[in-house]
Structure 1
Amino acid sequence: MKFDSFNAKPQGQSAGALSLDGWDKSESQPEVSHVSSSQRELTGHDIANLRPREFRNVSLGLELYAPGKWHETKNSRSLRLHDMATGTKLKAKGFARQDVSIEKWVGMRLPMLTKEMPEMTQVAKPVAIQGENWGSRVQGIVTEYQGRLPGDEEDSHLLICCLRTDSMLISVTISAPTPVFAMNRAVYNWIFSRCDIGMAFPVLPALPASTRGTGARHQPAQDSYDYVELGNLASGMRLLNVAMLMFGGIVWSVQHFHLRGTQAAIMVFPFLALVAVMSLFGLIRVYRGADWGRSFKIIVGILAFIPFFNILAVLAINLRARAILRAEGYKIGLLACKEAIPESNHDMSNVIMLTVVLILAEFGYASYMNSRSSAAPESALTELSVPGQHFSISMPGEPVEQRLAAHAGVSNHHTYLSRAGKLQYAITYFDLASKPDEPGLFLEGIRDGIVSDLKAIVIEDNTTMLKGNAGRSMVLSAKGEIKKVTFFLAGKTVYLIEVTGPKSEEHSPRIAAFFESFHLN
């Protein structure tokens, strides 16, 4: 095929020479020239330098060559190529239809294009073209349009080629900004000359509208899942998978860093909210992209927001979505199918941006809280060692002794209190009349009494030992505060060490230093 490089007409024929009404008459057939792709017949272009590669859509039987750097997106009824550098776009779309003449196909397609792009004006009448290997199998007619699309700052030029075989109707559209189009017109002509239509791979037959909502895959008469539907399916699957990974990261962080209390809630809640929003939008996109049964949608939608069951829900969605995308000829990556997601979809960039903002905000909050903690005045630790007693412990400031009333079976009952900043420190000791026969049960009784008196929620409860003496270590939440308690039974003497303060101070190093300073002599 040869085009005049300035007016895109077959050489030797005017733009209006072809009469569609006379397509079947031999005298109306244009003269064409077959040109080998190995020749440098394109003005100013060497095709080898463009590193062309073959692009296929087996459902359409379409094969074409284009520069290898062009990005490909396709489904069972369309093929899209995009050159990021120049803004050139190629769209090929078709469907099975027998015994439709080429002039009727052009009469169908051009009004559709005018309706889709009312800003574009036809600047050349349709003319016949002939590809390298078409022979009598493929017939083609091409025309061109020019105009300024909404949002663009310059005019665009468009070539649309209607191709027809005995069983398939395909349109191939190439568009680019007008200056780019003028420079690369010969390349676009070469792409048309090398495209071909072979045996189409059979796709699922169309289903009647009554099957919608029954779980059966719906397919309109002319189109399978279109570009937008598959894009929704792929982008929704990616959102769900990323949300699951983020949720796992949040759970791991809470457990690994022992996050508790109000500060932890402030740190974790924004990320949980982001995961919930991602999951909701992911489900909506997936449901738009695949016509699954209502029962499946409801069950999966509920399970998606229940911990642990959400893993099963996302797995079920992935299995079904991957099956659809594979059937459409896409390759599935780790998180989703990137090629099926439209370039206009910015879900992941938005997620990344929000995550970075949250991380920076959390970092600022943590820095602020640390600065407040470090700025708070701290009293020097003073070792407390009571004469006649067999323990020592370091407490801030000057501990205040409280002699408590005697109880049946209890003697020598004392408590020493100290307050520094937001924390209150205390150590209590008392003697029993005799050593308990079962120390473990005795310690459990103390634990139950503490929980009952404080009406507290037990966050942690562990057994411990100190120089062979059994003990318990607990973390309690009561009345908006955190209380850490450790108690031991040494012979007939009970030692109870505790710190009370706001939840934000739960992991303060001062608390750890206080408990570690307790020794039995």
Structure 2
Amino acid sequence: MSSESFEQVLAAALAGGSMNVAWKKFVHTRFYLPIKHSPDFDPKKITLVMTPGSAAGDNTVQISEVRERITQGDAVLWLNGAEVIAMLPPDGAIQVALATHAYPIPSDRIAWLREGLRVAQARAAAKVPGAAATPPSSGAPGIATVFASAAPDAAKPSAQRGSLPANEIAALRPRKLGLADLGLEFSVPGAWREERIAKVLHLHDRDSGMRVEVRGMQQPDLSLDQWVSMRVEQLGQEMRFLKQSGPVQPIEGVQWQPGLSGKMVEFAGTFPGETVPGRYLLACIHREGTVVSLAVRATAEVFAQQRSLVQWLIGSVSVLSKEDLAARRAAAAAAASERDMDDGVTDTPALFGFNLHGRIGRLRALAYSVPTVIPSAALAIGAAVVMPKAMVLGAIMAITGVILLLWFSLRLMILRLHDVNRSGKWVLLFLALSGLAGALHSPVLLGIASLAFWLFVFVIYYFVPGTRGQNDYGPPPGPNTQLVQIGAAVFVLFQLFGIYANVKMASMLKSRTDTAAAQGSKLTPFAGPGQKFVVDLPGVPTPVPSSPWMNQQNGGVQVQQFYLEQAGRQYLIQSLDFGPAPRDSYALMNRAEQSVMGGDGKVEGTKAFLFNNGVNGREVRVKRADGSIRLARLVYHSGMLVVLMIAGPDDAATGAHADQVFQSFQLK
């Protein structure tokens, strides 16, 4: 349960009917809550921002596990549920902002939780080792008080002097924790809870409320004094309510390795949500370019009672030297390599998969791009075969193929980003831009987003190498096999062939356009019935009256026709007004396609297209028995079906001219 959020535990509890588990999770979960600072930043003058009129009551504070859901106040605190309850007034209530709704915790439930916490704290205080022997502190003692030396002439405080006796250490059931990438290890009581957020280790003693934060980094040029100054300055910005209660003092552990040095400084103040004085000790440790800090937070009373435990914890710290850390990493890599060879396990993601874990290099990404198209292509072929007899099944197969193609393409992109130590969320930026362009019906924005995306893909796939060694997304992928190299070469050849084909097609289109222009086809705009569309034609078409019989055959639909013959080509425009009643546009265009084919033609190809305003259309090419062709554009919009048909010789000039006419067609 420790890895679950409160929202997840709450949902499970509500479904199961028992809330005890949820309340236990609540008091230990950290939440963001809105506050207002006093002008002097005095923590005792902090006020909570209340949300009146909520389901939990008027005197309600809103909290959330997600920072972005808190929009009130001039600052936020990050406290656990128990600390939030301590800050509330007696009649206060809580409203937890969840992903889809807000969960109210009324004041009577808060009172019940507050009483349970009081009883638990009383029990914990009775169990604290040495509580009877160590009276509560009335103030905020300095470092010399917390780390009292065994002898008056001790040069510097020791993290081992006055430490826990062996029998008390055994009773703690200690366990080893640390930050492996820094070679850091130390001991903590077995009952303490741990949580890792990024590269920071958080520890919590539920009984006493003591918290420890451990962080560090490798910085060869950073001295111990610089590290202390950096952490103290950072602490001063984050916790302005704390006051330094003594000078920075050196510390040492009797069992520390040679070259390990440290300094510590203590702060005093009252933490937000608490009414008793608190203590905050910052211990900074340095060895050969590795710097570590341990920050201990507790009430002044608990700190005084647990000072031997803090000494023991800091004294247990060990940091590997650069040579030992390098040797450990090499040994771990060798062991992992040997294990992989023995077990046949690799860290390379499979060709087909539905998870996004791992990394792939440039060659493998190119090689995987070819076979991942196969399932979608097979489904597309299958859809084309079964669709005439089973329309629904064919549509499902086609949609599934498109989804698989999109998924495998995005998966390869994300795994490639992992290899360069970047999050796959970068892809969402381009998808969001494309979605915005579609929503705004902006072809310019869509073109910019598409160009940016494909440039990004091109650079990532071809030029950016993966990070050496392990990164945030795992170990590097396995070596490229000969099959991977062949697959990458095939993909590159496909890419080059595609570029050549596009250039050739552009040249052919330009040639056809030039041919049509050379023939002097001057086009003039023609507005259709009701000014609902406009198209450029080489002349003014003549209306063709439709007989009452034709209107009757079309179910009373009003049909208007226009005919033009120019330069050996025939032009026919039909406008069928079906009125406001909804119609099946797909079925109507199928009937129109049959009309274009006529009794002497054969459909050679159809092509669907989409206008900028989202209207669907279709283009049809029909080969007639005498060798000529009919080219038609079909559009259904606002209850009107428009058929624009051109018949003429089957040559490049007719095709180029038809493209000119069709591209001029615009809906009003």
TM-score, normalising length: structure 1: 0.39
Whichever structure has more strand as a proportion of its residues is: 1
TM-score, normalising length: structure 2: 0.32
